[in-house]
DNA sequence: CTGAAAGCGCTTACAG
DNA sequence: CTGAAAGCGCTTACAG
């Protein structure tokens, strides 16, 4: 391992000078500068950033706490974080809480072990002196008080903390559901059923708002019987779609609040001998990879995950540099992916 | 930020003593030990590992270079790395080359930019003084000479370097294909077609070997016309399955070398009016998430990705600690996932 | 059992 | 334009 001191000796200058040329700081004559650079190249010198960080009290390293890297939303968000980090020369320390692997579907109801994992992760990152933290959730939900008296900037994404709303980066759930519903309405559907997530979930409420707004705005009839509450899983989509469809005058379209339930709905139609989209149109949410492989390929809302990552990173960097934060930042928008599960209604 | 020096002053001992109790090294009387611990707790002291690393020339941090975190194999491998790292108190610096995003399907043929990204990643990790590196590929292929004169331990997974075969961790491709083929044979299939990847791909060759071995071992007839060379994409599975099936005496089963091509084959059957699995059985490879959502749900080989991660990590740590490496380590095995796309042949 | 001191590889305010 | 020196927060060989 070759040090600045070795360069200094060979180049016959002080270590200060080496540092100046390496960092383009101070003023160094062209001659000594070239001399130093030559020795640096000859010895294939690689700076030790750990020493630099200790001195400067800045690591240019961001801690990323991800609740579970194997859950579908995480890799794209991390990719966005990396994308932005590369342009800003920031490194990423990744801690993966493996929440879903540890607790399965129950992760929402295991606050104790959750807190323990989170604080362990935080402790590790603090000891590594990261300049800030991005916390990546696996479900949009309230996480205030997960960490007590933070001593370091943090931004949340795919989840949020009420005590720092400007530091939570999430996409526009309501607008996404509004758009999906409107897409159906534009194709002549007037009776649009909804398979929702659990009531105590934020995305459920927001997506319901979007749905309701589109229905009202187009003077359609809001029919409570066409709203069914599911649990995000395939089976609930399957069961609820059947209930929805086996009535006297069924809806002509179903908006499922995620792709898993939409898939259940598609399979329910197959079982009922109904053709999608000829007899009933189905639209999902999330644009999971599998959604394009369903039969028929599912029309669904794509989540702006990559953008969540870049926006988290830019927000965090602004925090770290004490730049002014945009006050009401625009929430990234979902994008409709048109495939084969929606048809116009024939009048 | 509170330092060891602050603790020392309040506890009326030297900084050396603080260090001893914090690290359980040296010998400290119970009395002073408790006194120190109390001050540490009172001040909520958090050690600065960057300073420790500088002194010890060891960071307990592993650099993970992943070619693309958004490609399906990567998250599970990283999860395995994290899993093992947690038990060994290692941190992970993640650099994501975003290879697929940068170059798309052509990543195999863009060696120049690949080398550039890789060396930039390596440089970043070296400057952070990581103790070792795990390189996670997105396609099993030869990567010798990607890095010139390495000064740090590295292990490759989901790819390999010929100059250090013991440091490349990959699953047993051949055995996986053998198992899949045998599964079909056990169900009475005697004419089994194969949709392969490109010939210049290592997994193609290894999987072909496994297929061939199972055919020979069971004294079936090897029929070259039943072997078609695809390109891993849906379309090639679709096209080739049609060719395979529209002959006088078609195979009763198709082994596709990945799930994407298997999906294409399923769709080809639908178009030909053939029922899967009644008329033809289809088996895939990879166990991609979508494979369970196909109609019918695809029987396929699951890749031991998590294990690839843990084994990479244990190998790397052995390297770093200069422990002896197992000489011919067992390759992690694929596991057959039985779903609905394979039936027994009726005699 | 405890402490004084050197040193890990950098940066920078200051003096010349 | 250049260098001597202090200091970032730790650890540890050594002396007592």
Range with the lowest mean pLDDT among A177-191, A206-220, A307-321, B112-126?
A: B112-126
Residue A106, pLDDT > 90, answer no
Laid out side by side, the sheet with A281-286 consists of A227-229, A192-196, A253-256, A281-286, A299-302, A335-337
Band of residue B109 on the pLDDT scale cut at 50, 70, 90:
low
- Distance from residue A203's CA to nucleotide C15's C1', rounded to whole Å: 64
In a domain, A320, yes or no: yes
In a domain, B116, yes or no: yes
Same structural domain for residues A42 and A126? Answer: no
Euclidean distance between CA atoms B297 and B289, whole angstroms: 11
The per-residue pLDDT for range B16-35, each reduced to its tens digit, is 999 999 999 878 899 999 99
Can you give the pLDDT at residue A52? 97
The per-residue pLDDT for range B159-188, each reduced to its tens digit, is 999 888 889 999 999 999 999 999 999 999
Residue B203, pLDDT > 70, answer yes
Averaged pLDDT, B88-116: 85
Averaged pLDDT, A333-345: 97
Chain A residues within an 8 Å CB radius of B82:
69, 94-96, 98
In a domain, B62, yes or no: yes
Residue B43, CB, strand D, below 7 Å: no
- CA of B30: nucleotide with nearest C1': C1
Structural domain containing residue B213 = 173-302
Q: How far is A222 from chain B (nearest CA, A)?
A: 32
**Count of structural domains within chain A:** 3
Instruction: Show which positions of strand D are touched by protein (CB under 7 A).
Output: 1-14
Q: Report CA-CA distances (Å) from A198 to A157, A207, A228, A233, A258.
A: 21, 12, 10, 11, 12
Chain A residues within an 8 Å CB radius of B94:
64, 78, 82, 92-94
SS3 A299: strand
Q: Do A96 and B74 touch (CB under 8 A)?
A: no
- Distance from residue A310's CA to nucleotide D13's C1', rounded to whole Å: 49
Q: What is the CATH number of the domain that holds A155?
A: 3.40.50.2300
In a domain, A343, yes or no: no
Same structural domain for residues B267 and B318? Answer: no
Band of residue A109 on the pLDDT scale cut at 50, 70, 90:
low
Q: What are phi and psi of B245, to 5 degrees?
A: -90, -20
Averaged pLDDT, A175-199: 97
Q: Which CA-bearing residue is nearest the C1' of C6?
A: B55
Degrees to nearest 5, angle at CA A292 with A288 and A297? 130
In a domain, B340, yes or no: no
Can you give the pLDDT at residue B347? 60
Averaged pLDDT, A45-50: 96
Same structural domain for residues B182 and B288? Answer: yes
In a domain, B197, yes or no: yes
Q: What is the CATH number of the domain that holds A15?
A: 1.10.260.40
Report CA A113 to chain centroid distance, whole Å. Answer: 22
Q: Do A50 and B129 touch (CB under 8 A)?
A: yes
Q: Which residues contact B320 (CB under 8 A, 6 or more apart)?
A: B131, B132, B153
| C-beta of residue A305 within 8 angstroms of C-beta of residue A80 | yes
Residue B17, CB, strand C, below 7 Å: yes
In a domain, A53, yes or no: no
Same structural domain for residues B292 and B310? Answer: no
Same structural domain for residues A314 and A282? Answer: no
Bridge partners (DSSP) listed for residue A194:
A227, A255
Can you give the pLDDT at residue A324? 83
Can you give the pLDDT at residue A229? 98
Same structural domain for residues B19 and B68? Answer: no
Report CA A312 to chain centroid distance, whole Å. Answer: 9
What average pLDDT is seen over chain A?
94
Averaged pLDDT, B127-137: 97
SS3 B286: strand
Same structural domain for residues B185 and B295? Answer: yes
Averaged pLDDT, B69-86: 97
Same structural domain for residues A166 and A311? Answer: yes
Same structural domain for residues A145 and A217? Answer: no
In a domain, B194, yes or no: yes
Nearest Cα neighbor of B60 from B104, B84, B14, B91 is B91
Residue B110, pLDDT > 70, answer no
- Distance from residue A157's CA to nucleotide D16's C1', rounded to whole Å: 57
Same structural domain for residues B190 and B293? Answer: yes
Q: What are phi and psi of B122, to 5 degrees?
A: -60, -40
Residue B23, CB, strand D, below 7 Å: yes
Euclidean distance between CA atoms B227 and B1, whole angstroms: 66
Band of residue A277 on the pLDDT scale cut at 50, 70, 90:
very high
Same structural domain for residues B160 and B189? Answer: no
Task: Taking the CA atoms of A84, A87, A90 and A96 in sequence, report the sign of the dihedral they define.
Answer: positive
SS3 A296: coil
Can you give the pLDDT at residue A164? 82
Euclidean distance between CA atoms A66 and A308, whole angstroms: 13
Interface test with B, best of A23, A73, A79, A151 (most B CBs within 10 A): A79
B205's tokens: 């060759």
Same structural domain for residues B298 and B256? Answer: yes
Residue A211: which region, alpha, beta or left (left: phi > 0; alpha: psi -120 to 50)? Answer: alpha
Can you give the pLDDT at residue B60? 97
Band of residue A230 on the pLDDT scale cut at 50, 70, 90:
very high
Nearest Cα neighbor of A111 from A135, A143, A134 is A143
| C-beta of residue A271 within 8 angstroms of C-beta of residue A285 | no
Residue A171, pLDDT > 90, answer yes
Residue A187: which region, alpha, beta or left (left: phi > 0; alpha: psi -120 to 50)? Answer: alpha
- Distance from residue B140's CA to nucleotide D10's C1', rounded to whole Å: 43
């Amino acid at each position: 391992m070759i040090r600045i001191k070795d360069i200094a000796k060979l180049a016959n200058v002080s270590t200060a000078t080496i540092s100046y040329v390496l960092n383009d700081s101070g003023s160094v004559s062209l001659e000594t500068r070239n001399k130093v650079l030559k020795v640096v190249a000859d010895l294939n010198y690689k700076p030790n950033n750990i020493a630099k960080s200790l001195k400067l009290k800045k690591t240019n390293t961001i801690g990323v706490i991800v609740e579970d890297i194997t859950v579908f939303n995480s890799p794209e968000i991390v990719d966005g974080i990396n994308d932005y980090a590369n342009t800003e020369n920031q490194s990423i320390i990744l801690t993966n809480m493996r929440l879903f692997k540890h607790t399965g579907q129950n992760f929402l109801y295991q606050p104790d072990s959750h807190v323990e994992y989170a604080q362990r992760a935080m402790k590790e990152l603090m000891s590594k002196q990261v300049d800030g933290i991005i916390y990546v959730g696996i479900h949009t939900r309230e996480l205030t008080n997960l960490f007590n008296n933070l001593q370091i900037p943090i931004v949340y994404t795919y989840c949020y903390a009420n005590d720092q709303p400007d530091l939570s980066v999430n996409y526009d759930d309501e607008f996404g559901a509004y758009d999906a519903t409107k897409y159906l309405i534009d194709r002549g559907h007037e009776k649009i059923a909804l398979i929702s997530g659990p009531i105590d979930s934020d995305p459920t409420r927001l997506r319901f708002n979007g749905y309701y707004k589109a229905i009202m705005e187009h003077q359609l009839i809001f029919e409570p019987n066409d709203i069914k509450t599911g649990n995000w899983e395939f089976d609930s989509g399957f069961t609820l779609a059947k209930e929805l469809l086996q009535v006297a005058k069924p809806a002509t379209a179903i908006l499922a609040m995620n792709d898993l339930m939409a898939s259940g709905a598609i399979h329910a139609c197959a079982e009922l001998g109904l053709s999608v989209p000829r007899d009933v149109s189905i639209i999902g949410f999330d644009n999971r990879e599998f959604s394009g492989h369903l039969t028929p390929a599912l029309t669904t809302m794509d989540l702006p995950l990559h953008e969540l990552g870049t926006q988290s990173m830019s927000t965090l960097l602004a925090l770290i540099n004490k730049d002014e934060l945009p006050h009401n930042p625009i929430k990234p928008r979902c994008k409709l992916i048109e495939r084969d599960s929606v048809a116009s209604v024939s009048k």
